[in-house]
Amino acid sequence: MNAIAKHKENLLLDGFTIIDDIYSDEEVQQILAVIENADMSNETFRKSSDLFAIRQFLKEIPEAKELIYNKNLKKVGAELFGTDFFTVKSIYFDKPETSNWYVAYHQDLTISVDTKIDLAGFGPWTVKQNQFAVQPPLEILKNIFTIRIHLDDTNEENGALKVVPGSHAKNIYRPETIDWSVEKEISCNVKKGGIMIMKPLLLHSSGRTTNNKKRRVIHIEFSNQELPVELNWAERLN
C-alpha cells in the first residue's frame, strides 16, 4: 500500500491522518513572520494569557495564503480529495508556553455562513465576533475535512489533539456518552512543518501545556458542497 492509499484508509477508518514535512523550517518561519507583523487590533483577533486566536485567518492575513498553499499541500490535497474542494473556514491558534487552557472532548458541528435565516435542517445558530455559525445537515458535515498545520513540534505535553479513533463514523456523538471501556484515546503528535488531517465529526480534545513550549496551529476547513441558495460560506476561498 502506498502512502496516499494509507492516508485515505486512515481517514476512512480512524477519521484522521498525520503527514510530516509539508513545510520546511524556512517556510514555517515565513508564515510566523507574516502573523507577527499583522495588525492585532481587529475584533477577529482574540488575545489573553492563555490563548491567542485569529478567526477568519486567511481573510485577515491574506499575505499568508501563498505561503500556506505551497506545492506540497496542494499535492496532498489533490491526491486525497480531488481538485474541486475550496476553503470554508480558517483559524490560527497560539497556545502560549504557560497556558492552562484546555478543551474538553467535542465534535466540530458548525459552519461559518454569511447570514442567519430559517432553513430546514440548519440549526442551532450562534454568533461569535459578528460571525454567524450554524449546525448544518449531517451530509454537509461529513463532506468537510480539516487540515491542521503545525508550526511547532506538538505532543501531549503542549496541547496536541487527543482523539477517539473511528468516532467520526458515529454521526452526532455526545461526549458524555463515551464508553471508555470500548473506546480508546490517541494523542496526535505532529512535528513542526507537518499536518494533521481530520474529519470534523471526529471526537477531539486538547490538554493543558505542561512542558513550557508553544503550540501554534493553523486550522483550515474545506468542502466541495454548495449551500442552499439563501446561504453562502462566509469565508469561501477558491
Handedness of CA 191, 166, 203, 46 (dihedral sign): positive
> Which range has the worst mean pLDDT, 17-31, 121-135, 150-164, 191-205?
121-135
Fill in the DSSP letter of residue 158: B
**pLDDT per position as a tens digit, 86-114:** 999 999 998 877 767 789 999 999 999 99
pLDDT for the residue 172: 96
Helix 3-13 / helix 71-81 crossing angle, nearest 10 deg: 60
Would you call the peptide bond into 124 cis, given omega within 30 degrees of 0 as the criterion?
yes
pLDDT for the residue 45: 56
Q: Is it the case that residue 178 has pLDDT exceeding 90?
A: yes
Within a domain: residue 168? Answer: yes
Give the three-class secondary structure for 43: coil
Q: Is it the case that residue 33 has pLDDT exceeding 80?
A: yes
Within a domain: residue 78? Answer: yes
What is the number of structural domains in the chain? 1
> Which range has the worst mean pLDDT, 99-108, 131-140, 156-165?
99-108
pLDDT for the residue 97: 73
Full domain range(s) for residue 108: 3-223
Identify the CATH number of the domain in which residue 137 sits. Answer: 2.60.120.620
Handedness of CA 75, 20, 143, 229 (dihedral sign): negative
Q: How many CB atoms lie within 10 A of CB 172?
A: 10
With a pLDDT cut of 70, the percent of the chain lying above it is 94
Within a domain: residue 183? Answer: yes
**pLDDT per position as a tens digit, 38-84:** 866 666 555 554 457 889 999 999 999 999 999 999 999 999 999 99
How are beta strands 161-163 and 204-206 bridged, if at all? Answer: antiparallel
Within a domain: residue 93? Answer: yes
Within a domain: residue 33? Answer: yes
Within a domain: residue 235? Answer: no
Q: What are phi and psi of 130, to 5 degrees?
A: 65, 20
Within a domain: residue 232? Answer: no
Strand partners, 154: 190
